Chains A and B, each alone.
Chain A
């Protein structure tokens, strides 16, 4: 038996750890496109960007690690992974964990910063250290975190977001408005409900960014944070079922026997939600690796942790979310505390879909068990009020 993992990020490491934890001592090969061992990707827009490198490395997988040699295809007849160098690696089980890539909007010049990898973040940090004014295109979580870090480093910051509030695409207008206020109170100039039509670097190195309403903005640095797309380009034309990600069942199996996928590249079937979902959350990788390891080794049949979790850190406060809070869900804001805390319950047709908190870390995490039983909003509010007593 020999397990090969395509992707040297969180998935490569967590998958190896899950196999080893279950007593598998056979060969594991991790193939990574980047020249780096697995690192803390969430830190790229947070600690690393502001210069704190302490927690950047995640650890070396207990595996043969091939770096800087991307996988280019899977030969599913011969059970081999093909690498850019021409190397072929035979597998009995293959895990696709190539993550995602930063989206690139066509109207934003290629020289704009995007952050997906360590090298991207280091390059942006070098630029931010020069000071000046940063313009962020896209107010999603990565855009918000970069804006927050840059403000902390003393730069002037403008964020242009097409929706009415920051992070509205993910969390809807109520929590979005809270985040917009947070950024404004830290001196960020927010241009929401505005569309970028062009962003170009001038000969003197500065940027000129034009909006659809005719506004022209200048900046020293531009970061595009317009989301990510699953890294499936190398699998196109092959035998795998792709649909914005590698389509998998609820155990991470692809349509090809002995080939699995997890992490940002994978769209798993979620029985509780009766649909395929692609999670782009750091902790989902660990949850999925446990399920895939059990499936490969036959060590158990425990289903995936059904309540996803993610967090975001901005201006020293932590936002946390569980479940699948949706943009169009109804939001019941329970606390809008003076110390800046917020607790919002998301619901749809009376069912609780998710909970989002800011500075409510313990409260949010403790609701995870409760959420497993698909409670109604009324149950959740009653549960929370008994906890408060």
Chain B
């Protein structure tokens, strides 16, 4: 599974980093998402799905091809 973020539209609520801290981090200053792994590490898929579903700005996109 791969994940993409549109950081330009991120509003810094940090929901993703709360549910999937190994995949998403935040900028110290404005809280904008920082993607740590484009290829989701094994075992973190559910967390990342959850993060995409609850992202208040809808900026997290999943791509299942390849896995």
Contacts and interface: CB of A to CB of B under 8 A. Distances in A.
Interface of A: 14, 17, 21, 40, 42, 54-55, 58-59, 282-283, 285-287, 290, 305, 309, 311, 317-318, 320, 359-366, 368-369
Given A305-B15, A361-B27, A361-B30, 17 more contacts: A54-B8, A58-B58, A282-B11, A282-B56, A286-B54, A286-B58, A290-B54, A305-B54, A309-B56, A311-B11, A318-B12, A320-B31, A359-B29, A361-B32, A365-B26, A365-B31, A368-B18
A365 B11 contact: no
17 contacts: A14-B58, A17-B58, A21-B53, A282-B11, A282-B56, A283-B11, A286-B57, A305-B15, A305-B54, A311-B31, A360-B28, A362-B25, A364-B14, A364-B31, A366-B14, A366-B26, A368-B14
Interface of B: 8-9, 11-15, 17-18, 25-32, 53-58
A88 B31 CA distance: 44
Contacts of B14: 361-362, 364-366, 368
A40 B9 CA distance: 9
A361 B26 contact: yes
Main secondary structure of the interface of B (DSSP, over half): loop
A184 B56 CA distance: 33
Query: Which has the most chain A C-beta neighbours within 10 Å: B11, B26, B28?
Result: B11
A17 B8 CA distance: 20
B46 to A, nearest CB: 15
Given A21-B53, A361-B12, A366-B17, A59 B58 contact: yes
Contacts, number: 81
Nearest to B29: A359
Main secondary structure of the interface of A (DSSP, over half): helix
Contacts of B18: 365-366, 368-369
Nearest to B25: A362
A311 B32 CA distance: 12
A147 to B, nearest CB: 20
A320 B28 CA distance: 12
A309 B13 contact: yes
B57 to A, nearest CB: 7
A363 B17 CA distance: 12
A363 B26 CA distance: 9
